[in-house]
Structure formats: structure tokens, C-alpha cells
Amino acid sequence: MSSETITSQLETADNPKDLERIVINPLTRVEGHGKVTLLQDENLNIKQARLHISEFRGFEKFIQGRPYWELPVLVQRLCGICPVSHHLAAAKATDMIVGATELTATAEKIRRLMHFGQTLQSHALHFFHLCSPDLLFGFDDDVRHRNIIGVIEDSPEIAKQGVLLRKYGQEVIRITSGKRIHGTGAIPGGVNKNVSKKEIDYLKQDIEQMISWSQDAVDLIKRIFFEHYDYHMSFGTIDSNMLSLIAEDGAFDIYHGGLRAKDDKGNVIFDHVDYTRYGDYIKEGVKNWSYMKFPFITSLGQDDGWYRVGPLARVNNCDFFTTPMAEKERQEFIATGKGLPIQSTLAFHWARLIEVLHCAEAIKELLNDSDISGTELLNRGELQSTGIGVIEAPRGTLFHHYEINDDGIVEKANLIVSTTNNNQAMNESIRKVASQYLDGNKLSEALLNQVEVAVRAYDPCLSCATHAIGKMPLQINLINANDELIDRLEKRVTGEISRTV
Amino acid sequence: MSTEKTFKLDGKSIPFQDGDTIMDAALRAGEYIPHLCHNPEFAPHGSCRVCIVDVNGRHMSACTLPAAEGLEVDNSSERIMEQRRNILQMLFVEGNHVCPGCEKSGACQLQAVAYYTRMLSPHYTHFFPKRSVDASHPDIAIDFNRCILCELCVRASRDVDKKNVFSITGRGLESRLVINSASGKLGNSALSASDKAVSVCPVGAILPKHVGYDQPIGDRLYDNKPISVVGDVASANNQQENAND
């Protein structure tokens, strides 16, 4: 991977004390709290660039001791943007625990409907609310205008479509799970409700409009992409492996499938891997400067095995979409790569909107499927001690792994969330942008926004990426009313705890 | 001329019989007085204090005060509601009541009474006590985090099931529910899933295992109507059991 050599050099500067430190804090228009630190020498050369996550959660620890049947509802509280992903990944893990090797057609289709609804709303939120200001107005537009209010003022129709697409997705979630955010629809072995005829009629009213607006959104991003083709193809572009779930027949599938990984040239690294064996294929590395872990493909090692997940990986990796409009768009997307995977970081947006179109089409298909009004909601078998659920969250592959004891109490949990999977890649992308556009320049807000644009393309959810506890380094500062640091406890990667003030 | 004995509850005449408490007479007349430890099937307990009312200027628990002629009972003034809210807020911070993740949310009497009294936040500093879940019984789990020490399970197990599975030990802030078994665990106790003690818990402390969230949001006990209309968790459980029979 050629660009890795260049960008990885910027992970750690040789002489950090002699360098000027520039901090972008907080990162704006992303989910959760994060920051970027840059170190620049006297010649304005960038010597170090790192993405940090500045919050701490601890879900893996505090769900220990809780009953397994609580997991789908409890763990979704990791996030308010794509809680359905955690809800469904945990539900799939608890399906395994209760021995439900197969769901009823009704249960599986309702869960898929819920997931399409959430992917639609999450992607719409990301593109229209968070990223369209950069893409419509330019990365160097006045910061007071470069936001969703600016979009509402200048392009009210686009803003309206974004808001209403998101609303529609939220309504699909409400109808399948009881609430727009943090519902309870999926339970171990199935779902707790079906979709009534009245609810189907309600959702059918607007679905054609949603499909049409989704197509408009794909057309919009293509226009933006091709207007500045060379720039979009090179901005923050890194050559990476890509990982996603894939259906048995190679179709795009965000709910269930095997793991497929391809290298930067599009060659298969592994394919249709049973995701319950993810531990044989993926490991998580730790770095002493980040709360977020660094997963990698075991066979390639930590230096070469990092990968990207999410829309870019999914659209590059899949063989086809099952819905016609999205498939037509996928073919155009793939053709642009001329036989190679598209590695452009900004192509995430393009791939994301193709997924929006697929979700809208797939919702329509499911609304016409009588199974979603069925009454067989649950399957149960023999209780198992291990539960592993993997799903494609809007931001990428999401792993939930639980071990329970004989009483049904969670003893161990491991969550590898989408944004964690993209950790190394996001760091590589900001280093690329730093070396492409910031190196040698006096830094301005507009230049620093380019770093944020690269991070935003991944749609990171920084809140759920810092769920872990245990090996992660941690620093607790005690600050008095005068804002003076009076005590500091540090926990190192080794687990050693020390007082440093 | 009527010989019916009455007292006034928020200005309304409430008839009562000898031996009635204010709570008995009010509930019979269809007037709701918020409560948690009270259950008409058991002797009055007077421990949660949520049913506090102002009676001729004195604050008394409605579930233990005998009804008497001429009493003027305030059940709904802001002053009384505020006292109830304070009591509920203390209950919320003494335990670990995490409604967003609790499977009883929407069908929990503590939550429903808090809504009824217009409690908007716990207000006080959380104790965050370290309590565990005992899931050693094959059918029943008990989450001590959510126990409000109403003693309904204690009374039901002692008076109806005749098993004495539960008891309260300790004093004051150290009070806690304990299990009567050699190991102190539910799994070794005489409790069975059909026991009265299992169905009287007003909160999410005593629960059947392997199920949860099976009622969709919108269909749960208190989703559509307040507790003053719906009634208690235990009476809903009784109705459910009768329907199943």
C-alpha cells in the first residue's frame, strides 16, 4: 500500500517538544466528541497528525452482570443516531443465545425493514445535515454560512428533502420498534410486534417520493463528484483493504451474511466467512495515544492489515444490489474505478447515497410483502453460552460478542463498532490531507476544515467507538473551581495506574 | 335521612364503613391516592409514604389512617404533590432505577406514580449503590437494584404462599431485601414462578427470566392511560392470571 508509507510517517513526530501544536477541537458536524492534533515545525511542515476521541463510555464493562435478554435494549443506548444497529446486532447475538438458529419470515423481514429505515435516516442525516454544506458551498466557504442553516437558505429544496428523508426513516423505525429512537422491537428470537395493514398504508403513502428524492440525491452527488473529478479522486485518498458483510450469492446485504475482505487491488483476502469466527480473522491493536482500538486483518498484521468499512467498502465489495435503481448506480460507480476498487475518501458520499436509494427501494419491496403482517414472531431453541451478532451499521461492520453464565448473566462482552474499524483509515486520511494541503502552509480555518472534511466522509460515530474498558489508556484530571489542575490519575496500556501530579 | 358516614376528599364526600382506612374508602369510591407499598389484598403497611395526605392540617399516610367522619383530606394540592415527589425522588436515587434500559418501563408502578405526580427529574444526588442481580433460580430473577423495600413480596410469601422466602434485614439506609435459603440465593429458595410473591412486585425487581420487552411500546400497562385510571401492577397481573385461567 503505497500511500501508507507516506502517511504513517506522520503518526508520531521524532521531536514533538520542538513543534507547534494545532488542535481542532471539537471536530464539528460529526457524531460524538473528537479532536485532531497537528504538529508543525518552524518551516510549517506537518510532522504529526492524529485523530483522537475525547470521550469515554464503558459499555462493555457495565453490561457485565446484566441478564442477556436486556442486551438489545441496553446496548443500543451507545448511540442516538444509529441505535437500531446496536439493537439488531445485540438481538442477533441473543438469537444465538436462545438457540434461535433461524427467525420466522415475519421477524426477519420486520428487522430488515427497521434496519433499512435506520440506514436511510442515518445516511440522510449525515449527507444533508452534516456534509452537504462542504460539498455544496466548498470547503473554504465562510464558516458562518457553511452549515445546515446555510443550506436551508440557499438550497431550501435540498434541505427539505434531507429533513423529510430522515423523517421517513425515523417513521419506519417507530412503526417497527415502537419509538423513533431507542425502541424495543427486536427481542431474543424475533420481534415483539408485526406491522399492521394500517401502518403499511401509512408508510406506503410517501415511499415513491422517497425513492425519487433518493435518486435525486445520487444525481446530486454524482454532479458534485464529476464537476471536480480529479480533486474528489485524490482528496484524502488512501489505498486500503475493505471489509463488509456479503449475502451468500454475493449480493449487497446490510442485515446478514458472511464476511468478505478485499485488498486495495480488489483481490479477495477472505470471503463468506462465518462471522461467529471473526476472532480468527480480525484482531484489535492498542496505541498509547488513543482511547480507540485499531483493528486489523490478522493474516496481514497490524501494519498492513487495517481496512475500511462502511458504504465505500460495501459498494466496492458486493457483486450486485438486489434492487434495480441502486444496481444501475452501482455499475456506474464501479465503472469509474476502471477495474480497481474506488479508494477516494470522498466517494464514501457517493456510495452512501447509492445505499440510500437501495434502502428506499427495499422498504417499498417489504411494504408489499404480506409476511411483515404475519403473526409468528418468535423462535426459541436451547440456551447457549455464546452469542455473536454482526450487522452492517450505516457506518460499517459492527460486531457484538457476549458470553453468559449458566444463570443467563453476561460475563463478558466485546463490541467492535464501525468507527473503530475505520480508526486507522481515518488517521491515514487526515495524514494524507495534511501532507496534500496543509504542509508548508500557515494554517487557516479553511485549511483545517479540510481535515474535518476527510474525517466527516467516514461518518464517524465517536461516541460508540469509545465503548471499551480494560486495556485502554485513560487519564482523569481533577480540576478545581479556578480551572487549575490539582490531581491526575493515569492508566497506561499495561493496566498500570499512576498519579502524575 | 341517610346514615351513611362520610369524610371529605378534595371537597368530595367519600362514604366509608367501619374499619376502612382513607385509602380503602377512596379507592372504593374511584378516587386515586398514589401509593406503592399498598395493595388492598394485604394489611396496610405505611412504609413508602407516597400516599401521604393532609388531614385536618396533619400529614398522614392514607393507607394506615382510619377513616372518620368530619375529616377534611387534601389529596391533590401542589404542597402534597411536592412531598410525594420528594419521596419518589429519594426512592429513585437510593436504588439504581435506569428506566431507559429497564424491561418494566411502561409497566412499572414507580415510574407511573412518578409521572402522575409530575416528577421531572431525580433531583437528589444518586447513591449508585452496588447491588447485584440474582438469576440463580431457573424461572425467576431478582434485580436488587430496583427494589424499593415495599415488602409486598415479603408479605405475599409469608401470608399467601406460606413460604417466607423474602425478608428485610438491616436498618435505615442499610435496609435490604434478603432471601431465605441456605446460600442466600433465590435458586435454593422455595420460590416458584406461580407464587403470589412473584406477581405483586410493583417495580422491575422480581421478574420472569428469558423474557422481557415482549409487550410492544404502545401496548404496555401505562402507555396510554395514567395509573389513576389503570390501577396497580398487581391488580393487572391478577386480571391477566384470571384471563389465562
Closest by CA to A385, choosing from A59, A96, A52, A100, is A96
User: Scanning every residue of chain B, which has its alpha carbon at the shortest distance from the alpha carbon of A182?
Assistant: B100
Nearest chain A residue to B216, by CA: A192
B82-244 fold: Alpha-Beta Plaits (3.30.70)
Would the pLDDT of B104 be above 80?
yes
Amino acid identity at A42? E
How much is the average pLDDT of B101-123?
96
- CA–CA distance, A351 with A310 (Å, rounded to integer): 9
- Among B133, B214, B215, select the one facing A67 at the smallest CB separation: B133
A190 near A88, Cβ under 8 Å? Answer: no
The whole-number average pLDDT for the span A362-370 is 98
Cβ-Cβ contacts under 8 Å between A and B: the total is 58
Q: Tell me the pTM.
A: 0.92
Beta strands in A68-171 (DSSP E): none
Flag if A73 and B136 touch (Cβ within 8 Å).
no
C-alpha cell at A403: 458470553
Looking at the domain covering B5-76, what would its CATH class be? Answer: alpha beta
Contacts B133 to A, Cβ<8 Å? 65-67, 409
Does A90 reach chain B within 8 Å, measured CB to CB?
no
Alpha-carbon gap: B21 to the closest alpha carbon of chain A (Å): 40
Torsion of CA A98, A279, A259, A271, to 10 degrees: -130
Q: Is the pLDDT of residue A197 over 80?
A: yes
DSSP A393: E
The residue of chain B with its CA nearest to that of A75 is B101
**Does A7 have pLDDT greater than 60?**
no
| Residues β-bridged to residue A262 | A242, A268
**Per-residue pLDDT for A427 more than 60?**
yes
Q: Is the pLDDT of residue B66 over 50?
A: yes
pLDDT of residue A354: 98
User: Nearest residue on chain B to A174, judged by CA atoms?
Assistant: B217
Interchain contact, B214 vs A192, CB within 8 Å: yes
Q: Give the nearest partner residue to B209 out of A178, A179, A408, using CB atoms.
A: A408
User: What ipTM goes with this model?
Assistant: 0.93
Q: Which residue has the higher pLDDT, A488 or A369?
A: A369
Instruction: Report residue A329: phi and psi, to 5°.
Output: -70, -40
Is A316 a residue whose pLDDT tops 60?
yes
Per residue in B5-21, pLDDT (tens digit) is 999 999 999 999 999 99
pLDDT at residue number A126: 93
Q: What DSSP character marks residue A320?
A: B
What is the rounded average pLDDT of the residues A343-355? Answer: 97
Interchain contact B130–A (C-beta under 8 A): no
Per-residue cell: B222: 401505562
Average pLDDT estimate for B196-219:
96
DSSP strands (E only) in B135-192: 140-143, 166-169, 176-179
Q: Do A67 and B141 lie within an 8 Å CB cutoff?
A: yes
Task: With CB atoms and an 8 Å threshold, state whether B216 touches A72.
Answer: no
What residue spans define the domains of chain B?
5-76, 82-244
List the single best residue of B128, B139, B183, B217 to mutate versus A (max A Cβ within 10 A): B217
Q: Cell 427481542 appears where?
A: A187
Mean of per-residue pLDDT scores for chain A: 91
CB contact under 8 A, A69 and B136: no
Cell numbers found for residue A470: 480494560
| Contact criterion met (CB below 8 Å) for A127 and A217 | yes
Peptide bond between residue A26 and the one before it cis (omega within 30 degrees of 0): yes
- Cα separation of B144 and A180, whole Å? 30
* First vs last C-alpha separation in chain B: 45
Hunting for cell 494541503 — which residue is that? A437
Nearest by CB to A66, which of B100, B133, B209?
B133
On chain B, the residues whose CB falls within 8 A of the CB of A177 are 217
A61 touches chain B (CB under 8 A): no
Q: Measured between alpha carbons, how far is A114 from A82 in angstroms, rounded to an integer?
A: 11
Partners of B187 on chain A (C-beta within 8 Å) are 407
Give tens-digit pLDDT for A57-107: 778 888 999 999 999 999 999 888 889 999 999 999 999 999 999 999 999
pLDDT of residue A495: 60
Chain A touched by B218 (CB under 8 Å)? yes
CB-based contact, A408 to chain B, within 8 Å: yes
pLDDT, tens only, B125-161:
999 999 999 999 999 999 999 999 999 999 999 999 9
Grid cell for residue B234:
398487581
Q: Which residues contact A488 (CB under 8 A, 6 or more apart)?
A: A475, A476, A477, A478, A499, A500, A501
Chain B contact set for A67 (CB, 8 A): 133, 135, 141, 209, 212
Name the pLDDT band for A491 (thresholds 50, 70, 90): low
CA distance to partner chain B, nearest, from residue A499 (Å):
25
Put simply, the answer to whether B210 touches A70 (Cβ < 8 Å) is no
Chain B residue numbers touching A74 (CB-CB < 8 A)? 101
Tell which B residues from 74 to 113 touch A, by Cβ distance under 8 Å: 100-101, 103
- Cβ–Cβ contacts within 10 Å for residue A259, how many? 23
pLDDT band at B3 (very low <50, low <70, confident <90, very high): confident
Interface check for A187 against chain B (CB to CB < 8 A): the answer is: yes
Tell me how far apart the alpha carbons of residues A368 and A160 are, in angstroms, rounded to a whole number.
Answer: 27
Q: Does B229 touch chain A (CB under 8 A)?
A: no
> So what's the pLDDT on residue A374?
98
Query: Could you give all domains of chain A from N- to C-terminal order, each with its CATH number?
Result: 2-55+425-470 (no CATH), 104-240+343-376 (1.10.645.10), 475-501 (no CATH)
Tell me the C-alpha distance between A74 and A40, whole Å.
43
Which chain B residue shows the shortest CA-CA distance from A69? B210
Higher per-residue pLDDT: A475 or B39: B39
Outline where DSSP puts E strands in B121-198. 133-134, 140-143, 166-169, 176-179
A468's grid cell: 471499551
As a whole number of angstroms, the distance between CA A499 and CA A237 comes to 41
Q: How far is CA A151 from the centre of its chain?
A: 24
> At CA A119, angle to CA A118 and CA A124, rounded to 5?
100
How far away is chain A from the Cα of B219, in angstroms, using its nearest Cα?
9
Is the confidence at residue A306, as pLDDT, over 50?
A: yes
Query: Which bin fits B151, alpha (ψ -120 to 50), beta or left (φ > 0)?
Result: left
Nearest residue, CB atoms, A408 vs list B210, B218, B219: B210
A66 neighbourhood in chain B, CB within 8 Å? 133
